[in-house]
Amino acid sequence: MNNIIESSLLTLQKSKDLLLKLSNEELSDASVSPYYSSIGSHLRHIYDFYYCSLEFNNEGKIDLTSRKRDLTVENCCNSASNYLNKIIESLQAVEGKLTDSIIVIDDLGCGKIEIDYTYSALLAQANSHTIHHYAIIGYILDRLNITFEDSNFGYNPTTPKKERVLVKN
């Protein structure tokens, strides 16, 4: 299996593990300031990015501005798990396309533009994007006093790890 797909599957497995731990109430809790977003809204956003990355429009382009945005994913662990499983199945089927050149449509702040990519570059972006959102989810988990045992959750593999020093009084 290609390293980009393998890395994405490994990263997405973390949210699969997280969904097994959460209740629907914890998934949808949007009480944490300053943004009042929920774990579910971040997971839905991650999954929408992947889903969109795996779907070509009728012009053969991938339009990142045209995402699914199924809001039930934000409130129901089963819906989120089902959506994730579909993404994982689709991701496993694209290995032969990784070197293909593609056109990606996105809005970087000045309106929609078309960008030349390879499929592998888009999947690498999706993986990094996921890790970034895991870091935000990590803050939400902390504020909601939910423990999730994964010391690498939300950390890019290239991030230096800070040694924890326990101070005894």
Residues 75-86: pLDDT tens digits?
Answer: 999 999 999 999
* Helix (H) or strand (E) segment spanning residue 116: strand 112-118
Strand pairing category for 101-107 and 112-118 = antiparallel
In the chain, what's the furthest Cα-to-Cα distance? 66
Selection from 38, 36, 116, 123 nearest residue 73 by Cα = 38
Q: How far apart are CA 71 and CA 6, in angstroms?
A: 28
Cβ 118 vs Cβ 31: under 8 Å: no
Break the chain down into helix, strand, coil percent, rounded to 5.
Answer: 50, 10, 40
The three-state secondary structure class of 131 is: helix
Question: Which pLDDT band holds residue 95 (cuts at 50, 70, 90)?
Answer: confident
Give the start-to-end residue ranges of the domains of the chain.
Answer: 3-143
pTM strictly above 0.85: yes
Give CA torsion, residues 17, 86, 71, 139, to 10 deg.
Answer: 30
Q: Which residues pair with 106 in a beta bridge?
A: 113
pLDDT in tens, 99-150: 889 999 999 999 999 999 999 999 999 999 999 999 999 999 999 999 999 9
Task: List alpha helices for 22-76, DSSP H.
Answer: 24-28, 39-53
The CATH number of the structural domain formed by 3-143 is 1.20.120.450
